[in-house]
Chains A and B, each alone.
Chain A
Amino acid sequence: MMALSKALLRVAAVTCLASPSLGADTYTLPPYSPAYEPRTLDERGLWMEADVHEKRLAGSPMRIRDDHLSQYVRDVLCRTVGSDRCGGVRVYIVDIPAFNATMMPNGAMSVWSGLLLRVRSEAELGAVLGHEFAHFELRHSLLGFQNRRSNSDLAAWIQVLGAIAQRDVSDTQLSIVGSVYRFNREQEKQADLLGLKYLKSSPYPSRSASEVWQHLMEEADATAAGRMIRKKHQYSAGFFDTHPTELNRADYLLEEALKFNDPGEAGAKEHYKAVEKYLPRFLSSQIRLNDFGGTEYIVSGIAGHTGWTGALLQARADMYVSRGNVRDLITATTLYLNAIDSGYQRPEIYRGLGLGLIKLGRNDDGRKYLKLYLENVPDAQDKKMIQLYIDDAGGE
């Protein structure tokens, strides 16, 4: 296997940061330079460790090894950052039901399934992928490491000197810790803004970047409402926050996007077509998180683009079954039957329907559907449990 650190990687030779407030020529991307090999001690060390992590990620059982899905994500990345830049990036899709993507210092990117579920268009996906690539281009891992090292060195000296001088240095220590987190937040903002510049140069509208954060805020509100807690969105980040707040990000991303004023095709239809096959799997993982409000928001958001497909109806019904109030079971039964009527017949629907009906006390109907489920999936993992329900209901 080719040593990963020797893989052909192209990184722009820009070492300084492009700030959008400098003059008229600030919307063009820095020039591009081919095949980059790290040379300094720190960077080579980081790439070596990243190579080890990448091997682990590549062999991980959490990885979704679907060629079409991977190709789709690569295509969106290439359309966003340009084919020069995307050439050396390796994209790994992992089955984690949360909104996130990560970038390693050696050019390996991981995309979580929760991200693919939440973004509503190619442009929104491109905004996040572009942000991650911006971390790579700006060498944030290296700079972050050097910053943490300098700060921890300073803190160690202050602690020792404070001990010698018999002085209380805890305030200074605290402010050093704060500066590390602040540095990280600054890096995230820089990545956001460079990601926006990628979007500007791409066929996608740059306003989509802000929309990603707006949707996340709305989802957080829905989650909080579902759990009956109050949640307020803040502009300023907390002491230990590694990222700026969602509200802050949505705000400055929208402000910059309005300056760019670039319309484009967001590609919502294309996105849902690409993830269609995996939607049931992503949704069932999301439902298992036991977040009724947030899941309802996500499912309704998808339905707004694709209409209430059978898969979405099933997901909605599963949500209600999982919450499990008696009135929820009635709702779920209706939704399952609607899904079946729409032509979407899956064994999981029969199972959900059967269990719901039995819990409502309609044993004959429930048993009928559970038997249908077992007929369709004779080697089901939960066969014994379902059989128990059938026998139990039949015996009454």
Chain B
Amino acid sequence: MPKLGRLFVAFCFAIAATMVSAQEKTGIKQGFQLQPGTARILLLEPSVRVGSQSTGGLFEPNADWTEQAKNNLERELSEVQGRLGNRVDRHELDGSSASAKLHDYNALFGAVASSVIEYQFFLGNRLPSKKKDKNEFSWSVGPGLKDVPALKGYDYILMIRTKDAFGSAGRKLLQIAAAFGGVGVTAGEHIGMAGLIDIRTGELVWLNADLQMGGDVRTTEGAVKRVSQLLEGFPGRGVQ
């Protein structure tokens, strides 16, 4: 069971010091520009997970909150879609064999985005080749993307992921107790990312990642704030 391996690591680093550096970063491919009205964008079904954070830091999925958040975010996204400067269609990742390759690529997008966050964006584990040039941003999922039949007629893929773990009462209690001992304990985890992938070349041309997102996604206003943070700096937005 892979979960147990992760648990062991979590035990070892159960109480991590809070990160001091900035928590929000955007990367854009050098020289990339997207003119409004020139491209067709496919929004892959957003990944939304909302739950609690247990005292020990485990993610406890909450079905009600996730459903509320999904509805709020989808509603807000469909409103915002028209204001992104280009036509955006939504694609549902279902269980049919036609979606098979897209499931693969969806997982790959997540892996590449995680790599960007881990090895380029934030202080702690950055690769030398990724931090020597401030404008360096070259990431790709390979050239095979254009051959996926479901993507015919589209130029870019937009992927959106958010995960919210609201600190439980026990976690907050632990945080207070830990403060007495001079140990820093974080309560609550709200991370999200939005990325744009060029279908023709497979390159990740834009990525927005935030490890401390705002807005309570379980409410409508919170979802509005969350979506605006996710799509902050979306290329080709046109004159507002």
Within 8 A of B (CB), among A58-89: 58-61, 63, 65
- Count of residues in B whose CB is under 8 Å from the partner chain: 44
Do the beta carbons of B103 and A155 come within 8 Å of each other? no
Do the beta carbons of A164 and B57 come within 8 Å of each other? no
- Residue among A56, A61, A148, A156 with the highest chain B CB neighbour number at 10 A: A156
Do the beta carbons of A160 and B104 come within 8 Å of each other? no
Chain A interface residue bracket vs B? 35 or more
List the A side residues contacting B3 at CB < 8 Å. Answer: 148
B25 adjacent to chain A (CB < 8 Å): no
Do the beta carbons of B63 and A152 come within 8 Å of each other? no
Do the beta carbons of A177 and B51 come within 8 Å of each other? no
List the B side residues contacting A180 at CB < 8 Å. Answer: 4, 7
A49 to B8, CA, bound (A): 21
B81 adjacent to chain A (CB < 8 Å): no
Chain B residue at smallest Cβ distance from A50? B61
B93 adjacent to chain A (CB < 8 Å): yes
B128 adjacent to chain A (CB < 8 Å): no
> How far does the Cβ of A250 sit from chain B's closest Cβ, in whole Å?
21
A66 to B56, CA, bound (A): 44
Give the segment of A38-46, A229-237, A350-358 that binds chain B: A38-46
Do the beta carbons of B4 and A181 come within 8 Å of each other? yes
Would you give the 0/1 interface string for B46-71, flagging 1 where the beta carbon is closer than 8 Å to chain A? Answer: 00010100111110111110110000
Give the segment of B113-121, B175-183, B195-203, B231-239 that binds chain A: B175-183
Do the beta carbons of A59 and B55 come within 8 Å of each other? no
Do the beta carbons of A48 and B58 come within 8 Å of each other? no
Chain B residue at smallest Cβ distance from A156? B56
Chain A residue at smallest Cβ distance from B100? A61
Contact of B94 among A44, A59, A181 (CB under 8 A): A59
Would you give the 0/1 interface string for B84-100, flagging 1 where the beta carbon is closer than 8 Å to chain A? Answer: 00000000011111011
List the A side residues contacting B204 at CB < 8 Å. Answer: none
> How far does the Cβ of B100 sit from chain A's closest Cβ, in whole Å?
4
Do the beta carbons of A65 and B174 come within 8 Å of each other? no
List the A side residues contacting B55 at CB < 8 Å. Answer: 152-153, 156-157
List the A side residues contacting B104 at CB < 8 Å. Answer: 60-61
A242 adjacent to chain B (CB < 8 Å): yes
Chain B residue at smallest Cβ distance from A243? B1
A110 adjacent to chain B (CB < 8 Å): no
> A163 with B11: in contact, given A60-B103, A61-B103, A181-B4 (CB under 8 Å)?
no
Chain B residue at smallest Cβ distance from A165? B181
Do the beta carbons of A56 and B103 come within 8 Å of each other? yes
A159 adjacent to chain B (CB < 8 Å): yes
B22 adjacent to chain A (CB < 8 Å): no
B14 adjacent to chain A (CB < 8 Å): yes
> A58 with B58: in contact, given A148-B3, A159-B15, A180-B7 (CB under 8 Å)?
no
> How far does the Cβ of A238 sit from chain B's closest Cβ, in whole Å?
13
B10 adjacent to chain A (CB < 8 Å): yes
Do the beta carbons of A164 and B96 come within 8 Å of each other? no
A160 to B187, CA, bound (A): 14
List the B side residues contacting A240 at CB < 8 Å. Answer: 4, 8
> How far does the Cβ of A192 sit from chain B's closest Cβ, in whole Å?
16
Within 8 A of A (CB), among B132-189: 170, 174, 177-178, 180-183, 185
Query: Which residues of A come within 8 Å of B, CB atoms?
Result: 1, 41-42, 44-49, 54-56, 58-61, 63, 65, 144, 148-149, 151-157, 159-161, 163-164, 173, 176-177, 180-181, 184, 240, 242
Give 11 A-B pairs besides A156-B15, A163-B15, A240-B4 with Cβ atoms closer than 8 angstroms: A1-B94, A56-B93, A56-B103, A59-B95, A61-B103, A63-B100, A149-B58, A152-B54, A155-B14, A184-B1, A240-B8
Can you list 28 A-B contacts (CB < 8 A)? A41-B62, A44-B64, A45-B51, A45-B66, A47-B63, A49-B49, A55-B93, A56-B107, A59-B93, A59-B99, A60-B100, A148-B4, A148-B7, A148-B58, A152-B55, A152-B58, A153-B55, A153-B56, A155-B14, A156-B57, A157-B177, A160-B177, A160-B181, A163-B15, A163-B181, A240-B8, A242-B1, A242-B4
Would you list the 8 A-B pairs with minimal beta carbon distance, nearest first?
A: A152-B56, A58-B95, A45-B61, A164-B181, A153-B55, A44-B63, A61-B100, A156-B56
